[in-house]
Amino acid sequence: PILMLQSPSRIFHRNLNAHLPVAQASAGVYISDKQGNRYLDACGGAAVSCLGHGHPRVIESIKHQLDTMAYAHSGFFTSETSEQLAQFLAQRAPENIEHVYFLSGGSEAVEAALKMARQYFLELGQPSKQKFIARRQSYHGNTLGALSVSGNRWRRQQFEPMLMDVELISPCYAYRDQLEGETERDYGLRVANELESKIAEMGAENVIGFIAEPVVGATSGALVPVPGYFKRIREICDRHNILLILDEVMCGMGRTGSLFACEQEGVRPDIITIAKGLAAGYQPIGATLCSNQIYSQFRDGSGAFQHGHTYVGHATACAAALAVQQTIEDENLLENVSHMGEVLNMALHERFGEHPFVGDIRGRGLFRALELVADRNTKAPLLHQLSMAAEIKRQGMAQGLACYPNSGTIDGLHGDHILLAPPYIIEQSHVEEIVDKLGLAVDAALNAKGITV
């Protein structure tokens, strides 16, 4: 058993009945708890710790920033560090994405993206544009605006009456939705065209934008779009004067092998949101990047974005992010992401390719997932009452492995997947340890629920 605190906790934890180990030390790909148990961090929390733990260069940069100028409010000052980070990102972002609005996390980045998109059309004199289109089985954050555009039923359901009215279309989920006899490309076009039908239904003059994760993370498990899907989405957005907002909070910042995930789709969005891997968990930070057209419209129009938070452009958070990003670049870590991503993919196929309860193995770079099923032929999910994802997480921790399982993969209730998002510094031996421990955890979880493998 892994518990740990002497007196009852005063923290309002996520799960009030969970017994959490106390994280005490972390280095490289491992986190240790107070009892001396060691966990391989195969998911970086929720795809956050992309550089691994305890990187000296990042820690040094944070200390230096604290020693010189920890924080100054962005309404009064800018800082050299935040300016440098914005330059760094703008220089590497997809063509024409030239400006960066800093925030403190993913949900804030999405909120800013939604409001920026709305105000952009006001600046243009198009006030009728008021609605967003998003996708089912997506997650964009837990604040009310970000939750409104999230198609994650489990996360939304209790707050539904408080959410904005957002229209949802299908995800690009070939494993389940591609029809027999339909090519990948035709499938991609068919689901992308749902956007055009939805715009026609709503009237393009009322639609602000479409938001999607290029590679879907927490809700669907490293769901990669089929080739051509996002190109078609871009065409539709252009044709109808709709902004394309790509949420790369989880899949961005190198996770899939390119700094921005959308580079591999060959599309240029109007707005991109990033967070998690940006400062790799060393500090909380997110950002909303926008095109030159959007920025110019604000500059030549009202001159101000009607938004802001206290910690926008926090100098210490920016120092951490800059050091993380420079380290990834200087150490050529994205090459390791692509290379070790393939190594991990092969190891997963070797271990789980014939597993009777693993239906799909998918992902890109160091963003990989297994989708669990009760029957590989029919793809029927395991009974949701089994809460298999929670059991696998528990069994993983008992094995010394932190992975990120989730339920509701198919429709918010049914289906389970396990997401892996290890640090970009992983080596062959870590891959072996991840796959060994994951295999044990999955089989132990199935056995614990009375299913014999």
CB of 181 to ligand PLP, least distance (A): 33
Q: Which residue has the tokens 């590989």?
A: 376
Q: Is 213 in the site for ligand PLP (CB under 6 A)?
A: yes
162: its two tokens? 């408080």
Closer of 108 and 433 to ligand PLP (Cβ): 108
Judged by DSSP in three states, 179 sits in coil
Q: Give residues 303-342 in contact with ligand PLP (rule: CB under 6 A).
A: none
Q: 435 near 348, Cβ under 8 Å? A: yes
Over the range 412-448, which residues count as b (16 or more CB within 10 Å of their CB) and which as e?
beebbbbbbbbbbbbeeebbebbbebbbebbbbbbee
Q: Is 110 in the site for ligand PLP (CB under 6 A)?
A: yes
CB of 84 to ligand PLP, least distance (A): 23
Question: How many Å apart are CA 218 and CA 141, to the nearest integer?
Answer: 11
Torsion angle, alpha carbons of 35, 22, 218, 109, to 10: -150
| The only residue of 44, 52, 94, 106 in contact with ligand PLP, by rule CB under 6 A | 106
Closer of 105 and 359 to ligand PLP (Cβ): 105
Closer of 86 and 149 to ligand PLP (Cβ): 149
Question: How many Å apart are CA 275 and CA 231, to the nearest integer?
Answer: 24
| The only residue of 55, 99, 118, 140 in contact with ligand PLP, by rule CB under 6 A | 140
φ, ψ of residue 368 in degrees (nearest 5): -130, 155
CB of 46 to ligand PLP, least distance (A): 5
Q: Is 275 in the site for ligand PLP (CB under 6 A)?
A: yes
CB of 217 to ligand PLP, least distance (A): 4
Per DSSP, which regions of 18-171 are E strands? 23-27, 30-33, 38-41, 97-103, 131-135, 167-169
CB of 140 to ligand PLP, least distance (A): 5
| The only residue of 101, 132, 139, 173 in contact with ligand PLP, by rule CB under 6 A | 139
Q: Is 250 in the site for ligand PLP (CB under 6 A)?
A: yes
CB of 431 to ligand PLP, least distance (A): 23
Question: Whose CA is closest to 148, among 325, 156, 347, 52?
Answer: 156
Chain-centre distance of CA 390, in angstroms? 20
CB of 28 to ligand PLP, least distance (A): 23
Closer of 46 and 272 to ligand PLP (Cβ): 46
Count of residues in the chain: 453
Angle at 358 between CA 355 and CA 363, to 5 degrees: 120
HSE, side-chain direction, 13 A CA sphere, residue 443: 12
4: its two tokens? 């740990």
Question: How many Å apart are CA 98 and CA 85, to the nearest integer?
Answer: 12
Q: Is 217 in the site for ligand PLP (CB under 6 A)?
A: yes
Binding segment toward ligand PLP, per CB under 6 A, in 118-126, 247-255, 324-332, 381-389: 247-255
Closer of 32 and 256 to ligand PLP (Cβ): 256
Question: Whose CA is closest to 97, among 266, 294, 231?
Answer: 294
CB of 106 to ligand PLP, least distance (A): 2
Identity of the residue numbered 424: Y
CB of 13 to ligand PLP, least distance (A): 16
> What's the Cα-to-Cα distance from 31 to each of 22, 38, 143, 419, rounded to whole Å?
10, 6, 29, 18
Closer of 213 and 416 to ligand PLP (Cβ): 213
Q: Is 33 in the site for ligand PLP (CB under 6 A)?
A: no
Q: What is the DSSP letter of 220?
A: T
Residues contacting ligand PLP: total by CB under 6 A: 15
Neighbours of 290 (CB within 10 A): 28
| The only residue of 117, 249, 421, 442 in contact with ligand PLP, by rule CB under 6 A | 249
Closer of 211 and 431 to ligand PLP (Cβ): 211
| The only residue of 86, 112, 208, 218 in contact with ligand PLP, by rule CB under 6 A | 218
Closer of 141 and 359 to ligand PLP (Cβ): 141
Widest CA span in the chain = 66
Binding segment toward ligand PLP, per CB under 6 A, in 135-143, 174-182, 236-244, 400-408: 135-143
CB of 70 to ligand PLP, least distance (A): 22
| The only residue of 40, 42, 43, 46 in contact with ligand PLP, by rule CB under 6 A | 46
Q: Is 62 in the site for ligand PLP (CB under 6 A)?
A: no
Q: Is 41 in the site for ligand PLP (CB under 6 A)?
A: no
Q: 23 near 281, Cβ under 8 Å? A: no
Closer of 217 and 257 to ligand PLP (Cβ): 217
Q: 22 near 34, Cβ under 8 Å? A: yes
Q: Is 214 in the site for ligand PLP (CB under 6 A)?
A: no
Q: What is the DSSP letter of 405?
A: E
Interface residue list for ligand PLP (CB under 6 A): 46, 105-107, 110, 139-141, 213, 217-218, 247, 249-250, 275
